[in-house]
Amino acid sequence: MSRHSGSKGPSQRMLRVGELVRHALAEVLQRGEVMDPVLEGHVITVPEVRMTPDLKLATAYVMPLGGKDVGPVLEALDRNRKQLRMLTVKRLELKSAPDLRFRIDDSFDRGAHIDELLRSPEVARDLVDDGEDER
């Protein structure tokens, strides 16, 4: 039986390496070490990096500050993927350098949508009805 057969979610090692990669990538982007006009003109946040179980692929969730020019920023990151990988790995002590893949982070949009749903009149009405039933 496999060690991971009953596990749900990432291992501690995957989480730890993902966080190390996130910090290193954020530092590279913050310092402007990649000479690309699109990247130089944007502040890019890296809220999360998810690693595959073999630690060979890192999916970085990114968002330009203000949510503007998402498409061009994602294209610039993909275009400069090899250089970003090299600069990121120089800051880490890993046996092998994970490939980088970039995705737009939509967690803020999903959170705002959930807040909107929770504030809707239908949910407020249901909460009041539930409170009266308990008395």
Provide the residue-wise pLDDT of the chain in tens; the chain has 135 residues.
344 555 578 899 999 999 999 999 999 999 999 999 999 888 999 999 999 999 999 999 999 987 788 899 999 999 999 999 999 989 988 888 899 999 998 776 676 777 777 777 877 777 776 555 554
CATH of domain 12-104: 3.30.300.20
Per-residue pLDDT, 41: 87
Per-residue pLDDT, 130: 54
pTM for this model (two decimals): 0.74
Per-residue pLDDT, 48: 94
**Is residue 60 within 8 Å of residue 20, measured between CB atoms?**
no
Per-residue pLDDT, 125: 77
**Residue-range domain boundaries for the chain:** 12-104, 107-135
For residue 123 the two structure tokens come to 């949910």
- Cβ neighbours around 89 below 10 Å, total: 16
Rounded Cα distance between 46 and 104, Å, is 10
**Is residue 45 within 8 Å of residue 26, measured between CB atoms?**
yes
